[in-house]
Structures are given as structure tokens and as C-alpha cells.
Structure 1
Amino acid sequence: MVAAVRREVQAILLVLLGTALLRISLFSDSYLRYVRAALQPYLVATGVVLVLLGVASAVATVRALRTSPGGGFGPGPAESSRPDHPDHQAAPDDHHGHDHHGHSHHGGPRIAWLLTLPVLAIVLVAPPALGSYTAQRSESTTVKPAGTEPTFPPLPAGDPLSMTLASFDVRAVWDTAAPLRGRRVKLVGFATSRKGGGWYLTRLTISCCAADALTSKVEIRGGAATTQVPPPGSWVEVVGVWQPDGQTAQDDTIPALTAAQVTRIPEPRDPYE
């Protein structure tokens, strides 16, 4: 009977976990807080498999109980009351017929229910995506492209030129041809404060999931940056021109942008680059 209870708990947990995955990946965009959009099909497939495994396990458990002696409910009252029935005979050292190992059997299912806590956290609490709190405590990371003298493709046309923050940082720091010089660019990110005054436009980039997030920052300068200072953590769109001499000894890998326009915007559907 204990084994049946454990199988029932396992089935319920599988269904709950699969349902939680489907809820955040198939019926909402919540999965984008944790992983890249390209992983959605794998999350959906995993959720479906977990639900099917849980349902199959539950059906197998019910069938096993129905086909067991007594229909899974143990011997009938008339049979179990017979003096020679095994269940009627108490253990030699236990005059009350108690199982000395009973407590260990009941501990397993109770502990297994603790596995529902992560599921409830995803469904009920829905932890937010990484944002200004993480970025404020992280250094800006501008990875040098491979090669001794990295080469870059030509920048596309457009005025202003829309770029990701990570791409802007790489081109501003490592592209010796300086194609950004004099080009108006449009960047999207959230505001974080700068030590010593001012603020950064910031964005987090992930390769697989939020655990490998890297921070990209651009120092925002100019009149618009001082007259339209956004609150920390708020999402903004900045249009401006790269300031080639913007790097300082303090921020040698953080480029600067002279902003002409700073506009508050809603948080994007996908908060990561």
C-alpha cells in the first residue's frame, strides 16, 4: 500500500511540474524571464512528456490497486477477523500489532510533497526577470571577438541605426575602423546609476538561461541625459551619437553616448538580448 501511495505522489508531482512548464512556455511568455526564446519548443515538449508520464503512472497505479487481492483495500472484515489470519496475529514483541517500521514508510510521501514548492513558486510567485538589481552589482562585459585583428561586417543603413547594447559595446570598443563615428544610433535598455554621478543604459544578454547572463552598459551623456534622467530600473529608448573619447580610466570598456533623445517605454516582451 505504501508503494502505491508513493506512485500516486510521483504521478501527481509529474503532472504538476509538466503543467507548470506548459503554463509558462505555451500559455504565456513567462519563460522568457528564465531562458532564451529559442528554447520554447523544448520546454513545451518537456511539459507534455511530464504530463503524459504522470497520467500514465496514475492509470497504472489505479489498475494495480484494482487487480490486487481485495481490490487494493486489503482483506475483508470477516476474513481479517479470523484468529488464524496473518493480519490478526501480532508480532512477538508487539502486543498491539503495530509495525515497528511504520513511521519510516509514512515519511517518504510527506517529504516528496516538498517537491511541489518549486512548482508553486513558478505558478503563484512567478519570479521576475533579472534586471537593475543584478546589473547594478555586475561589471560591464564587452567580449573581444575572436582573432588578433577582429573583422566586422559593414553596419546596415538607417538613421537612427537600431542596435543591441551588446553589439554597440563591441563595435565601439573593438572595431578600429570606428564605423559608429558620427552615426546616430537607437538603443533600448533600463537605467542604472553610475558611481560618481550620471547613469548607464543597461541590458542583460543570455546565451542559454538567466544563470549565464552578462551585463552590457553604455554611459549616457549630454543635455538629454541630464534633463530626462529616468528612474533606476525603468526602461528607456535612447537616440544619440557615440562619443569616441568617452572611455575613462574608471570605465575603460564602457562606451559613452551623447543622447539627443531619451524616451520612457514599457518593458519589452523579451527582457534579454
Structure 2
Amino acid sequence: MRRYGGPVLLCLVGAAVLRITLLSDLYLRYVQHALRPYLIVSGTALILLGVTTAVLRSRTGGGEEAGGDDAEYDGEHDAEHDDSDSETHDDGHGHHGAAGPRIAWLLTLPALALLLFPPPALGSYSAGREAAQRAAQGVGAFPALPAGNPVALTLAGFSSRAIYDSGRSLSGRTVRMTGFVTHGSGGTWYLTRLMVTCCAADATTSKVEIRGEDAPPTDTWVTVTGTWHPKGRLGSDAAWPPVLDAGSARTVKQPSDPYETP
């Protein structure tokens, strides 16, 4: 079995990648939608490589078995010289050979875990460890918002307008945003969303303080509708995080794509 450890591991990882890309939207927990074709190609390549390696090793297995007689003869020849040394030598190799494959097979556990129990998307823990991230831009005018109320905005878009928009385009407008709940001190709670440029490894945090509604449990996904509450001087630290006076907050399911993109 030891000769098939590598191929099995390749096939498990490939199957896990294809499972989260072809059979579900779970891959969106880790990467952007645009990377889906590359994941499919990678998963397929891993499975093909594993199967090919297993076939090649099975074809070379006969040669190893044919060499068994020579190995047995060598063992008997060594035994004639020194039975005690031979026994010690054989025991040592036997234990080493048995332990090696058993340890190596433990490498399949992470692959099985990925296949059967894909990790969840980043949430409040990651957001709490993230330092305040704000757009690298100065104060200036933003394009006009679409007509009609409420207007759907990303948290990053709302934050940029609240902190940097000299035209005050949020004034008098009702906005609607969706994110997960994080908590601050003194009963403060935030609507939070993570933004990814490429994958979850480069995620940055956007958050909006919510006032006027009771705080749901941490990591609950909610859609909040309300109006901008100005605070601080534009472009200053006092303006962050922006504040929303909520008119309503309703619990929703986590979206299939939990991250915002630039």
C-alpha cells in the first residue's frame, strides 16, 4: 500500500478542489469568482496525475516482487554469518518500514477534511484582527448615487463616501447594506464585510457602526436599511468608522459570495 500513498493524496486533494468548484459555490469562501476555471483545471490535473502515477507504479510492481527471491537469499546468507546481528537488523528495518507508511498516511487527513468539511468563510475573528483599513484617497467629489430609495451599497462604497465625499452624496438618502455582525465596546455593534482583491489571504475589513437597532449575535448576517449619520471631519480618523441610523435590520442567510470585491 505504501507505493499508492502519494497518488491517493493527489486524488483526494483534486477531488476536494473539484467538489467546492463544480458541485457548489464553496470556493467563493476562499477566492474570487474569476479564479473558478483555474481551480477546475488544477483539480482535474491533480486527479489525472494521481491516477497516472498509480497506474505506472502498479506496472512496475512485478519487478519488485521478482526481486523478492534475491532479497530472501541475501537475508539467509546474512543469517549464516550472525543470527543475532541479523535479527536485530531485520527488526530495526521492519519497525522502520512499518512506521514510515503509517505516518505518511496521516497526510491524507487534511485532504479528507477539505473534501468532507470545507472551512467556513472568514468572519468576525478575522475582522477583529484586521487593523482599520481605509481607501488610499483624498477628499473629493464622488459620482451621484442612483435614483430611488433605498439605494443598495457595499460597505466599502458607503464608507468611502461617508469619509471622503466632499459632495455629501449620502445626505438625505436611504441606503441598504448587507454584512455580518461584529461587536465593539459599550454595546456598540457593526455591520462588517471583508473585501478580497484575489483571495481570502489578502482580505481587508469594512465596517459601519449601526445605531437604533438591537445588536444581533456575532457573525449573524443581516441586511440593514437606514440613513447616514455624519461625524467627524471629512478624511480624518474621527470620521471612521462611519455611522448608520438604522430604520430596520433583518436577519438573512450568508450570501454565496461572502466577500466584497474592489
Letter of the structure 2 residue corresponding to residue 98 of structure 1 = D
Q: Give secondary structure in 1 for the equivalent of 2:157.
A: helix
Moved more, 51-60 or 184-193: 184-193
Q: CA RMSD in A?
A: 2.9
Residue 129 of structure 1 pairs with residue 121 of structure 2:
yes
Higher helix share: 2
Residue 262 of structure 1 pairs with residue 254 of structure 2:
no
TM-score (norm 1): 0.81
After superposition, residues 74-223 of structure 1 pair within 5 angstroms as 74-75=68-69, 85-90=73-78, 92-93=81-82, 94-96=85-87, 98=90, 101-145=93-137, 152-222=142-212
Tell me the distance in 1 between the aligned counterparts of 2:158 and 2:135.
Answer: 12
Listed one character per residue, the Cα deviations across residues 88-125 of structure 1 (whole Å, up to 9, x for unaligned) are 31264534473755544444433322221211221333
Residue 78 of structure 2 contacts residue 86 of structure 2 at CA under 8 Å; is this kept in 1? yes
Tell me the distance in 2 between the aligned counterparts of 1:190 and 1:140.
Answer: 17
User: How many angstroms does 1:14 deviate by?
Assistant: 0.7
Tell me the distance in 1 between the aligned counterparts of 2:141 and 2:96.
Answer: 65
Corresponding pairs, count: 255
Moved more, 151-160 or 230-239: 151-160
TM-score (norm 2): 0.84
Distance 1:191 1:98, change over 3 A: closer
Listed one character per residue, the Cα deviations across residues 233-264 of structure 1 (whole Å, up to 9, x for unaligned) are 21111111111237899864111111122122
Distance 1:10 1:150, change over 3 A: farther
After superposition, residues 227-238 of structure 1 pair within 5 angstroms as 229-238=215-224
Tell me the distance in 2 between the aligned counterparts of 1:247 and 1:109.
Answer: 64
User: How many angstroms does 1:7 deviate by?
Assistant: 3.7
Distance 1:165 1:265, change over 3 A: same
Letter of the structure 1 residue corresponding to residue 77 of structure 2 = Q
Tell me the distance in 1 between the aligned counterparts of 2:40 and 2:128.
Answer: 33
Q: Which consecutive unaligned segments of at least 5 residues does structure 2 have? A: none
Q: Which consecutive unaligned segments of at least 5 residues does structure 1 have? A: none
